[in-house]
Structure 1
Amino acid sequence: MNTLDLEVFGEDERRIRKSNVRHIFTPHKPITDERFFRGRLEEMKQLLSTLNTPGEHALLYGDRGVGKSSLANITAQNLVKLTEQKLIIKRCDSSDNFLSIIEPALIEAGCCPRTISITSQQNFNISIFKNNITSGNTVQKEGNVNQSLSPSWVAQKIKDLNVLLLIDEFDAIQGVEDKYKVAELIKQLSDSDSKLKILIVGIAESSSELTEGHPSVQRCLKEIKLSRMKYEELTHIIKYGANMLNLIFEKEVIYRIVRLSSGYAYFTHLLALKAAEKAIIEERQTIALNNLNFAIEKAINDCESSLQKLYEISIKSSVERYKKVLYAIALCNDEFIKKKDVKAKYESKFGEPLMRSALDSCFSRIASDDNSKILKRIYKGVYRFSDPRMASYIRIVQSYMYTSNEN
């Protein structure tokens, strides 16, 4: 990149930054500002009602990319305004366990959940978490590690806190026992009529994946599955963002973006962002259909790498027919995919016959019994996308195949 190109790029970035567009359309992070949150009103009401009911806690689950974390963030903000609770947010990763999940709440209650050993050459006095300790060569702070592994002990310590504990990305927890303990903690808190509320958020096909089938927690844990967003909700996201930016998305552009998104707010935000950025750089107010093609190209490069890699592996060295079959699969508006439905979609879309042998050959390359390929085999003759967002990704990458008869 030469000096002139760099100057032009820098000016483009300044315009984009000044417009605030990347804070309005946010595909790469959950929404934390209520001004930019649209849709999900009924689900928010349900969560607020649940968490404002004595003895009840909530579990929000569903596919990746449907907006769980954004909904949880905005719901939590509204709840603490209503109840004057303190909000504690714990975002999990694969290294977390029961102790690390509940540690912030224990600290809030004045407990020190860990034991720490410190070696020294001389006597000294230290203070850690309000516990004064004196020792010679080895100093050990009296903690509560063993007890804090017990859900009943934790419940007794934190039950009087006026706190909302939001546990996000709960699916990242590796330990089955750790998930079970969190479920048991919720039951213990409910039984003790605790002020503290827990909202769990995670990717899952069923709630039992996150609670490890705890037999008694269903009574006090409201399970809410977040489905894909409705057409009207995705449309509202685009229109509201456009209004804040003083831009106009033509009706056909909005329709195409929503169609390509297939209910996933992630893709709506991504496509709208790329289209809006280009309009801001070019100082245009209107975003027309021909402008959307550029946005699609940019969005493909900006999509999550996991989607890109899975797609690239599947089409590597493939003939055009394989891409057509993939597109037909993406048009199947059903969670469970059957070959006969793909064949029908293919022949209707492309106006040419698809031999069963060719279809079988394609499926052998893109399907497996695990999540290593685009399709996961559920049982004989029935498949589903390993990542449910892949249907949208295929339609975006292969948008050159789009024709109005799909509508």
Structure 2
Amino acid sequence: MIDEKLIIYKTKKIFTPTSSAKFTFVEREGKLNNHFVDALNTPGKQIVLYGHSGCGKTTLLTNKISQTYENSYTTRCMEGMTFESIILDGFDQLSGLYNENSSSKTFKIAPELNISYADIKATIKLGDYTKQKTETTKHILPPQLTPQRLAKFYGASNSCWILEDFHKIKGSDRTKTSQLMKVFMDMSEEYEDLKIIALGAVGTARQVIEYDREMNNRVAEIFIPYMKPDEIERIIDTGEELLNLIFSKEVKSKIIKYSCGLPSICHQLCLNICFNKKIYETVKTKVSINLDDLDEAISKLVEEKSDTLKAEFDKAIKVGNGTKINMPKVILENCLEINKDEFSHSEIFNQINKSQINEANFSKFLTELCSPTRSEILIYDENSNLYRFNNLFLKAYAYLRLKEEIVKNENAELENKNLKEANIIKKLLDIIENDIYNKLEDDEDYFVIEDI
């Protein structure tokens, strides 16, 4: 019998690997959640949320910000984005609020601010028209659009400004953007809820406060760690209930392990399972999810990543013809042999045969492995002065390529290309299946890989 009270949800709204989770939002552990909420409610306190890609920063922010602010607007920072571009984007996003017909349930914008906004908007439009005929590479801000004026526009409308991927802003533009946060701090005397929230990778907090020591006590630096197993399980449990599914205990356990603390991977695996079974919305009769369904889902995930992993690794170890020692390859091999999630400069260097290389040359290549030149296969954390692999799938792939025998003969490689790629995918799955990844300890914020 069909439950008349059954609410139908779209699967893509429940499992959301590439966007913020709404229905499957999981409250993070008390200390983290309280720290963030307290920062949101502290007048003048600016916020930096940072953490590894896929750990749930945007989801946490999206779900908490709506409890405090009437509106929030996001500027998505990109490589090469200038300070002027950021200001213009932040200004332009408010256009829906500052016009003659705009209205709000809880606040009213002063008429003079509406007029001021309209005047600046008209100036920018005229400037853009002129710029198209002369200069297209540099935005020129109208003199009326100062950081202070922009802060007024956000403060008066009870709006929060989010700078996503702050770490992508470089050089002087990053310094200016940090100064912009200080302006918002200072103007909180007039608008107590005025805030900029910077969202970024590990190291973002240091990038924000390095401009001015005074900002140390006025910026909340909040690290978003990997999710703990019970938090990942709550995502599955909620999706299971809303879509009327039954995930077996074994399936849940394996999804938790494969996710490595990253909610984005959990969401992707669950979405793959549903799509593979043609489940696009809440089913009227319960459907069971078994291990075969999960195997198919994770194979699909790794297959989708296979080309990217190969390309990133090949770029990382590429050296010129005739090079006697492939130093990037040697460094990566020794990083794996250290058998730790994070490792220092000296730990890596001491692992290497000193007759192969001098320390200056070693340092040069180690720095390159942390740059886009070599796929950023390693990440350097300036706060801890330690290195780590960019992500666990890439680390596992590096292990395969460096520790397992790969077909070397060009003709044989060409003839067995499909077999070779299928074999790599299988081995990658085997590595995960054989529990190379440790379970997340209850009191730790990271995973380690053992026996590598």
TM-score, normalised to structure 1, is: 0.67
SS for the counterpart of 2:200 is strand
> Cα distance, 1:93 vs. partner?
2.9
Instruction: Tell me which moved more, 108-117 or 215-224.
Output: 108-117
> Cα distance, 1:224 vs. partner?
0.7
Q: Which residue of 2 aligns with 1:288?
A: 290
Q: Which residue of 2 aligns with 1:103?
A: 91
Q: 1:330 to 1:162 in 2, by over 3 A?
A: farther
> Cα distance, 1:66 vs. partner?
0.7
Structure 2 stretches lacking a partner, 5+ long: 1-7, 99-112, 131-139, 319-328, 400-424, 439-452
Q: 1:19 to 1:394 in 2, by over 3 A?
A: farther
Specify which of 39, 64, 67 is matched with residue 53 of structure 2: 64
Q: Which residue of 2 aligns with 1:349?
A: none
Tell me if 1:166 matches 2:197.
Answer: no
Structure 1 stretches lacking a partner, 5+ long: 1-17, 121-142, 317-321, 342-354
Q: Deviations over 1:296-318 (max 9, x none)?
A: 111123349755532465699xx
Q: Which residue of 2 aligns with 1:190?
A: 188
Tell me if 1:145 matches 2:142.
Answer: yes
Q: 1:285 to 1:179 in 2, by over 3 A?
A: same
Q: 1:219 to 1:340 in 2, by over 3 A?
A: closer
Specify which of 207, 231, 245 is matched with residue 243 of structure 2: 245
SS for the counterpart of 1:207 is helix
Letter in 1 for 2:304: D
2:49–2:223 CA contact under 8 A, matched in 1: yes
TM-score, normalised to structure 2, is: 0.61
1:151–1:181 CA contact under 8 A, matched in 2: no
2:166–2:204 CA contact under 8 A, matched in 1: no
Q: Deviations over 1:226-262 (max 9, x none)?
A: 1111111011111211222222222222222211221
Q: Percent identity?
A: 23
1:186–1:217 CA contact under 8 A, matched in 2: no
Q: Which residue of 2 aligns with 1:263?
A: 261
1:330–1:391 CA contact under 8 A, matched in 2: no
1:63–1:388 CA contact under 8 A, matched in 2: no
> Cα distance, 1:65 vs. partner?
1.1
Cα distance in 1 for residues equivalent to 2:62 and 2:381 = 34
SS for the counterpart of 2:203 is coil
Q: Which residue of 1 aligns with 2:63?
A: 74
TM alignment of 1:18-57, pairs within 5 A:
20-31=10-21, 33=22, 35-40=23-28, 42=30, 43-57=32-46
> Cα distance, 1:50 vs. partner?
1.8
> Cα distance, 1:106 vs. partner?
6.9
TM alignment of 1:5-404, pairs within 5 A:
20-31=10-21, 33=22, 35-40=23-28, 42=30, 43-80=32-69, 85-94=70-79, 95-97=81-83, 98-104=86-92, 108=98, 109-110=113-114, 111=117, 112=120, 114-115=123-124, 116-117=126-127, 145-148=142-145, 150-155=146-151, 158-174=154-170, 175-280=173-278, 285-303=287-305, 307=309, 309-311=311-313, 313=315, 329=336, 334-336=341-343, 368-370=366-368, 371=370, 372-373=374-375, 374-375=377-378, 383-387=387-391, 390-391=394-395, 398-401=428-431, 402-403=433-434
Q: Which residue of 2 aligns with 1:139?
A: none
> Cα distance, 1:264 vs. partner?
1.0
Letter in 2 for 1:167: L
Letter in 2 for 1:89: T
> Cα distance, 1:332 vs. partner?
5.0
1:164–1:196 CA contact under 8 A, matched in 2: yes
Cα distance in 1 for residues equivalent to 2:273 and 2:337 = 23
Cα distance in 2 for residues equivalent to 1:210 and 1:390 = 29
> Cα distance, 1:204 vs. partner?
3.0
Q: 1:144 to 1:213 in 2, by over 3 A?
A: closer
Q: Deviations over 1:178-223 (max 9, x none)?
A: 3223222233223545442332212232402244433222322211
1:279–1:286 CA contact under 8 A, matched in 2: no
Q: Which residue of 2 aligns with 1:140?
A: none
Q: Deviations over 1:34-73 (max 9, x none)?
A: x221232533443233222222232211111111111111
Cα distance in 2 for residues equivalent to 1:51 and 1:335 = 32
Cα distance in 2 for residues equivalent to 1:228 and 1:52 = 25
Letter in 1 for 2:203: E
1:86–1:164 CA contact under 8 A, matched in 2: yes
2:379–2:388 CA contact under 8 A, matched in 1: yes
Q: 1:181 to 1:339 in 2, by over 3 A?
A: closer
Cα distance in 2 for residues equivalent to 1:51 and 1:101 = 23
Cα distance in 2 for residues equivalent to 1:154 and 1:240 = 40
Q: 1:255 to 1:201 in 2, by over 3 A?
A: same
Q: Deviations over 1:361-393 (max 9, x none)?
A: 9xx9xx7423325335789x9641134663477
Q: Which residue of 2 aligns with 1:138?
A: none
